[in-house]
Every structure is written in structure tokens, then in C-alpha cells.
A and B are shown apart, each in its own frame.
Chain A
Amino acid sequence: MRRFVIIAILLGAFTFPAGAVNPSEMLKDPVLELRAREISKHLRCVVCQNQSIDDSDATLARDLRVLVRDRLMTGASDTEVIDYVVSRYGDFVLLKPPFKLATMVLWFGPGLILLLALLAMVNFYRRQQRTARAATPPPLSDDERQRFDDLMKDDAP
């Protein structure tokens, strides 16, 4: 029984998510097929929008998968295939937004906000330290020290 469980777990370790690719869509050439899968994973399904065409069951996603494979078969490079789809649907189909002027805010925004927050934090703690230092009372004068010692003496049993 235990051996069976171990084998089952080991077998499970060798599986991988299948996506929505139908076996009949797959290319015979494993290298091309792998490239097609990689491209498909980065293209958004325009029907379901939050899935890649590799994951989506939508018919249009299927047709796009087939188109990607057709283009690869004719010898197109990965970027040529992706550029074609982008030329039809816009940057939106790329699950990872491209790096350009219009997407600067997207790429740098979070880092910029983090930097601002860090600056604000440093500023806050520095100021707190300064006020803490300012709040420390000046040392006792000789007179005060004398009175303090007297008071302490009185309290002694």
C-alpha cells in the first residue's frame, strides 16, 4: 500500500498543466510545438481576457492557437507571430505589457511609489529622533544637584 502511494506521488510529480490545447491541434515537430505553446502562454484570449489562449477553451482562442502554429509552420519567427497578433488586437493581447513610453507608469510606478514611501519613512524616523533628542532635559546645575542629594538623604531610613 505504501509503495503504491509513493509511486502515485512520483507519477504526479511528472505531470504538468495541459492547457486547453487539443491533441489534434498539436504540431508533429516537438520543437515547433514547444515554441507554439510558449507563444500561446503569453497571448491573452480576447474573449475571456484573463486567460492565455493556451488556457482558454474559447473557440476564438482555439483559432488563434491554430493560427500561431500555421505561422510557425511557414517559418515565421516567434516575434513575427506575436507581432502579427499585436497588429490585429493591440498591446492588450500581450499578457506582459511591453516596455514603451505609454507603459512607463506601469513599469516604474510601483517602484517610484515604494521609493517615495521609503523616503517618507526615513524622514519620519529622523524627525522623531531629533525631537527625542530635543526632549532630553539639560543636566542639573550644581544647585539642583545639591537639592536632589538632600532630598534623597532625607528619605533614607
Chain B
Amino acid sequence: MKKRLLYLLPPLIFVVLAVFFAVGLTKDPRKLPNMLKGKPVPEFALKPIKNRDDKGFASTDLNGGVSLVNVFGSWCVACRIEHPFLMEIKRAGRVPIHGIDWREEDPDAGPKWLIKHGDPYTLVGDDPNSKAAIAFGVTGAPETFIVDKAGVVRFKYVGPLNPKIWDTTIQPVLDELGKGGL
């Protein structure tokens, strides 16, 4: 009887390992943990991009209200896909979105892109050498952060936003923060 049970051991170990690895395979290795969650936004002070009359975008701008910080670039194809939805959020006035224009080789490219496709951002900062992007732990554009009114990072979404993702991931966090109801 004891021996019988011992024969079951290898397949049992196999099943445990298989489940372990199967779960591991469902995880996207491109998605890194949000190290900033629950921490104040990193310090940064970005210069404005052309054609905008604001003063740029700095970490101090994030105190006082719930907002989104969206990392984008004119070179980023997924940002182009996301863009109409950001415009929609702006039109609905759900929550202010600030932009970090990341790694433009040509300083005119970002402003041109925003003129051509529309500008959903309240404030925009130019981040040509990834200073702010690295401080935020960004690995690729677009990435969107939810910052609460105390300037604490609450959530990070990697990849282009769309209505479905908004409803399932962004809106619940905003509801929790008491902001962004339609």
C-alpha cells in the first residue's frame, strides 16, 4: 500500500510543476511590477514642448487633484491607437490628463503630432532623455499612471487605453478616489 502511494509521487510532482509553469506562462514578462504604487510621484521638472503656452510639466503640478499621467511619443504606434480615446476622455471631462512626451528625436515631432491628431493633455512636458520616464519606471509607451490628490501614484496601466480597459481597470480606481464619474 505504501509503495503504491510512492508510485503516485512522480506524477503528482509533475502536476504541481505543470500548474506552476502554466500559471507562469499566462503572465506577460513585459509587464513589470508598479514599483511606485502607493508612493509619491518621483520628482521631475520637464520643459514645455513647442506650440503650447504652458510652463511645462513638473511633479509639483500633481498636487491638488486626481489626474492621469500619460507617457506618449509621436514615434509610438500604440499611442496613435490610444489617442482618440484620450480625446474622448478629455471631451467628457472625466479627469485631467497630463502628458510626458517621451524621447522625441525631433523636438518638433511631438507638437506636430498633437496638432494633427488633437491635444488631450492639460499639461505636457518634454522628456527627450528619459529622465522622467525612468523615474516613473516606464518600459514602453504608452503607459498611464493614476495620481491621487496627494500626489501619490495609485495605479499604472501599460499599453493603450480603450473603453473596455477604462471601465475594468481605470474607472474602479478613480471611483475609489472619488473622482471621474461621468
Residues of A within 8 A of B (CB): 46-47, 49, 59-60, 63-64, 66-67, 85, 87-90, 92
CB–CB B33/A92 < 8 A: yes
CB–CB B32/A46 < 8 A: yes
> Does B129 interact with chain A (Cβ within 8 Å)?
yes
CB–CB A92/B134 < 8 A: no
Nearest to B138 among chain A residues (CB) is A60
Residues of B within 8 A of A (CB): 29-30, 32-33, 35-36, 42, 103, 129-131, 133-137, 139-140
B137's partner among A47, A49, A89 (CB-CB below 8 A) is A89
Number of inter-chain CB pairs below 8 Å: 44
Q: Provide the bound-state CA to CA distance between A93 and B129, in Å.
A: 19
Q: Provide the bound-state CA to CA distance between A60 and B76, in Å.
A: 14
CB–CB B134/A63 < 8 A: yes
Determine the chain B residues whose CB is within 8 A of the CB of A64 once the complex forms.
130, 134
Q: Provide the bound-state CA to CA distance between A49 and B28, in Å.
A: 12
CB–CB A90/B134 < 8 A: no
Determine the chain B residues whose CB is within 8 A of the CB of A67 once the complex forms.
130-131, 134
Which of B103, B137, B140 is most buried by chain A, counting CB atoms within 10 A of its CB? B137
B130's partner among A49, A60, A87, A90 (CB-CB below 8 A) is A60
A90 and B33 in contact, given A63-B134, A64-B134, A66-B129 (Cβ under 8 angstroms): yes
A88's partner among B29, B129, B134, B140 (CB-CB below 8 A) is B134
CB–CB B129/A46 < 8 A: no
Which of B42, B129, B133, B139 is most buried by chain A, counting CB atoms within 10 A of its CB? B139
Nearest to B135 among chain A residues (CB) is A88
CB–CB B35/A89 < 8 A: yes
